[in-house]
Structure 1
Amino acid sequence: MLSGSRSWLQCSRCLGPSLRTAARPVFARVRYQSSSTPSESYAQVSPILLRRARAVAAERDQLSAANAESYDVAVAKKIGELSPVCTALKDWEDAQNSLNELTSLLHDPSSDAELRSLAQSDIDSTVSTLPALTNRLKTALIPPHPFANMPCMIEFHPGAGGSEASLFAQSLLDMYRAFCARMGWSTTLASYTADDSVPEVAMTDALLEINAPGSYDILRSEAGVHRVQRVPSTEKKGRTHTSAVSVLVLPNLPETGGEDLDYENPESDYYIAPQDVRSETMRARGAGGQHVNKTDSAIRLTHIPTGIVISMQESRSQHKNREKAWQLLRSKLAQIRREQREAEVINLRRSVMGGVARTGREDKVRTYNYSQNRVTDHRSGKESSNLDDILGGGLELEDLMDSVREWMSENEVRGLLAEEELRAKMSDGNGPGKR
């Protein structure tokens, strides 16, 4: 969304000292009070972020003027990307201007008591809208995730905990399928391997496709390690066991690319060099009746540089299995490349701001405690005492997801503030290495 390169980001050793100062946000204080009852509101928008928002608005106006003379599809798309910031900025500035006018009216000696009372009422009403307007402006400044509008896939891998982990992985799969059904999203179980060592329904791995545009943006916060604490049915002494399941959320890329997804450009995140992939055919294993083990329909792709292995055998058609395997491999590599580009910025934010700027796929994100009927999200800190509703994909799960997205937005705003302040310092010649 935001123009300009971020190539100035280098390493925490060079930039850390400057960012430690830059990371401290500066809040503009605005005070409104009547002659009888003082009230105070804080417009918590850093001047640095306001300057960034106004620069975006100016860029949008310039592009709009140029596009009015000679229309260009790419420019029109860019204008659309900048518009949410402009709208949020206008609403915030309108509220500020209204408050200034009402405050002048309130303190005007020529205003009668009734007019001052009306002005105070309008001030109180406008002030009450400021937190939401402020939050909308700050959130609009966050660059959108490149996969935000895509459908997604969720991968499940039981970890520590043996059969308990396999059982809980099945519970998580059922939870997300129920959530998707409630949202009206269609799903496809693209890959599933049952855990035959467990008498109950359990799995060793699964891949769930969610065929809804924008589902990636809603579900990407679910990636990470989900931990369960409960007493297994086979536990004779009533001891609580802890198991874990790794959940990976991937963009579901179209098979043929198109628009911004350039599969043929070696500079693209979506390109895979054919010589980097070893392809093997094999006979399908597991349930499937008379067609299993009759033909070499299963496909295994190995991406040699990363060691990623994709196996697909769900279809009786080798061609369909190959297409699906390539699609999954492309999604995994695109996700990894995106994460690698973000890694330096993420580590920098962690070193500068303290805490965790975001979580990775190896981080513990949520704990499901059966004996206490409690679910705790370790990022937002939100807890729920309705385990059944969460595992049933209900509103409690949606509330947890909302809390995590809010937590992610707050961290992104803090990071954006630090970056913009450092950008301003460097443009003034006061960046790292300057004395």
Structure 2
Amino acid sequence: MASARPDQNGDFYLADSLLKRARQLSAEHDAIEAQLQEDFEAKKAARSGQLRPVSEALKQYDSAVENLKELRVLANDPDPTLASMAADDIPETIDAIRSSSAALTTSLVPRNQFAACPSIIEIRPGTGGGEAALFTNDLYKMYISLFGTLRWSTTLISYQTYNEIGGEGCSEVIMTVNAPESYELLRLESGVHRVQRVPETETKGRTHTSTVSVMVLPKLGEDEGEFEHGTDDDPLAQIDMKDVKVDVLRASGAGGQHVNRTESAVRMTHLPTGIVVSMQDTRSQHKNRARALTILKAKVAEKRRKAQEEEALSMRRGVLRVGAGRSDKIRTYNYTQNRVTDHRSGESNHNLPAFMKGDGLSEMVKGVKEWDVQRSVEVMVAIQEMEDEKKRKEGR
């Protein structure tokens, strides 16, 4: 007699909306492959390469699901030996479905267009005065410790001390992390970092709350287009240059006499959204302008995408505040409780002194990346459902 099926809850299956999206992308991949057989185009080949993991993972998923269906039938066969063998194979097949589901889910999440880039990190104090400046320096040391562990080289572009408290705090840190792919690991560090502790100058032992702002940007290559792909093909990234204010400034920070004499730094402001991007990576104003525009387009697209995500998720789950961890505080460092908590993944580390030396930070960053993937999947499902609902209302 066949054993009881261990798969009654069916939680290993992908959501219908996610599967629908996967099939759409797989069909696009097959169509592009057919076109490439007739006429090779580099752009289409690149798109095919992006879609190939989805197509391959979907085939593995469909195959495993079909195998499970056949095993379920055989598990009810009158022949007890055959039924027993089929029942024994069901758990392994379910594991295969789970594995291919995870692979398919990961492949569906678009890779960030600047993932392969080195990165630029800017750290500045927020609310909290001198205490915020002190913690800015602490975060700088924390990241330097992490990069040392990863054996990533860095270049310090700007380090400005906070004069009111001497050399212990700083009002600005800008550095480049020269390792390729560093942007993909660090981009989710962008946001407000909050610290709760008793300052050394506090005479009554009261805990103060201060904030520090961290911004992580991709460091683009010397030649235009030296990153995985640009923003021009993204409809959400299209902007009217009439809406962009461009300021040309003298570069600041390291660089010797040239920096003080040449107006090569570029600052672009997208007036409708208020997004500002500054770039002074090279001595060429033209290159800085091109890089600033590329990043500005990406940031405008991200803002528009968040609005789209919020609409989709609100429709799916009712009123919901989306992405609060990105727009507000992303992490709290509580010294009185010896704890650091990331507000997106919910993960906590209870050895704050070690964490501030870089120990445990890498694991927390990876946890946030897993959260980001899951959130992206949820958004993808919500957007697909929203599009389906709109089509139903339009009678299509």
* TM-score range normalised by the length of the shorter chain: 0.7 to 0.9
Q: Structure 1 residue 211: deviation in Å?
A: 2.0
Cα 1:294–1:361 shift into 2, 3 Å: closer
- Residues 331/141 of structure 1: CA separation in 2 closer, same or farther (3 Å cut): same
Greater helix share, structure number: 2
From the superposition, tell whether residues 426 and 376 of structure 1 become closer, same or farther in structure 2 (CA, over 3 Å): same
Cα deviation per residue 1:392-432 (whole Å; 9 max; x = unaligned)? 223x22222222222222222222112222333444xx226
Q: What is the 5 A alignment of 1:104-123?
A: 104-112=73-81, 115-123=82-90
Cα 1:176/1:334, change in 2 over 3 Å: farther
Deviation at 1:134, TM superposition (A): 1.9
Give deviations 1:167-194, integer Å, cap 9, x for gaps.
1111112222222232332222222212
Q: Which residue of 2 aligns with 1:339?
A: 302
Partner of 2:20: 51
**Which residue is 2:59 aligned to?**
90
1:276-425 matches, within 5 Å, as: 276-281=245-250, 296=261, 301-303=266-268, 306=271, 308=276, 310=278, 320=283, 326=289, 329-330=292-293, 333-352=296-315, 353=317, 354-359=319-324, 362-394=327-359, 396-425=360-389
CA contact (8 A) 2:312 2:386 kept: no
Quickly say closer, same or farther: Cα 1:247–1:56, change in 2 above 3 A.
same
Deviation at 1:132, TM superposition (A): 3.7
2:207 maps to what in 1?
Answer: 240
- Provide the rounded CA distance (Å) in 1 between the counterparts of 2:263 and 2:325: 31
Contact 1:151 1:211 in 2 (8 A): yes
Shift of residue 51 of structure 1? 2.5
Provide closer, same or farther for how the CA distance between residues 310 and 109 of structure 1 changes in structure 2, counting only shifts above 3 A: closer
CA separation of 1:189 and 1:335: change in aligned 2, threshold 3 A: farther
Of 80-89 and 42-51, more deviation after overlay is shown by: 42-51
Residue identity opposite 2:301 in structure 1: R
More deviation, 191-200/347-356: 347-356
Q: Deviations over 1:126-151 (max 9, x none)?
A: 22343343233223223333222322
In 2 relative to 1, CA 164–328 (structure 1 residues): closer, same or farther, beyond 3 Å?
farther
What is the DSSP-based 3-state SS (H/G/I as helix, E as strand, rest coil) of the residue aligned with 1:197?
Answer: helix
Q: TM-score, structure 2 length as denominator?
A: 0.83
Among 174, 198, 218, which residue is 2:165 paired with? 198
Cα pair distance change 1:229/1:351, threshold 3 Å: same
Aligned length: 383
Structure 1: which 5+ runs fail to align? 1-33
Distance 1:136 1:74, change over 3 A: same
| Change in 2 beyond 3 A, CA 1:261/1:65 | closer
Amino acid at match of 1:179: L
Determine if contact 2:313/2:379 at 8 Å carries over to the other structure.
no
Per the TM alignment, residue 124 of structure 1 is displaced from its structure 2 partner at its CA by 1.6
The answer to whether the Cα contact below 8 Å between 2:12 and 2:94 also exists between their aligned partners in 1 is no
Tell me the distance in 2 between the aligned counterparts of 1:129 and 1:211: 39
CA contact (8 A) 1:357 1:412 kept: no
Q: In the alignment, is the contact (CA less than 8 A) between 1:358 and 1:411 conserved in 2?
A: no
Pairs within 5 Å for 1:175-186: 175-186=142-153
CA distance 1:225–1:411, shift in 2 (3 Å): same
**Could you tell me the percent identity over the aligned residues?**
35
Query: In the alignment, residue 357 of structure 1 is paired with which amino acid?
Result: V
Q: Which amino acid counterpart does residue 338 of structure 2 have in structure 1?
A: N
> Residues 52 and 281 from structure 1, CA distance in 2 versus in 1: closer, same or farther, beyond 3 angstroms?
closer
Q: 1:227 to 1:75 in 2, by over 3 A?
A: same
**Ranges in structure 2 where 5+ consecutive residues have no aligned partner:** none
Q: Which moved more, 1:349-358 or 1:169-178?
A: 349-358
Q: State the TM-score, normalized to the length of structure 1.
A: 0.76
Aligned partner letter, 1:418: A
Q: Given the alignment of the two structures, is residue 158 of structure 1 paired with residue 120 of structure 2, yes or no?
A: no
Residue 231 of structure 1: aligned partner? 198
Look up the equivalent residue of 1:414 and give its one-letter code: E
Tell me the equivalent position of 1:141.
108
- 1:255 and 1:323 in contact (8 A); partners too: no
Aligned to 2:135: 168
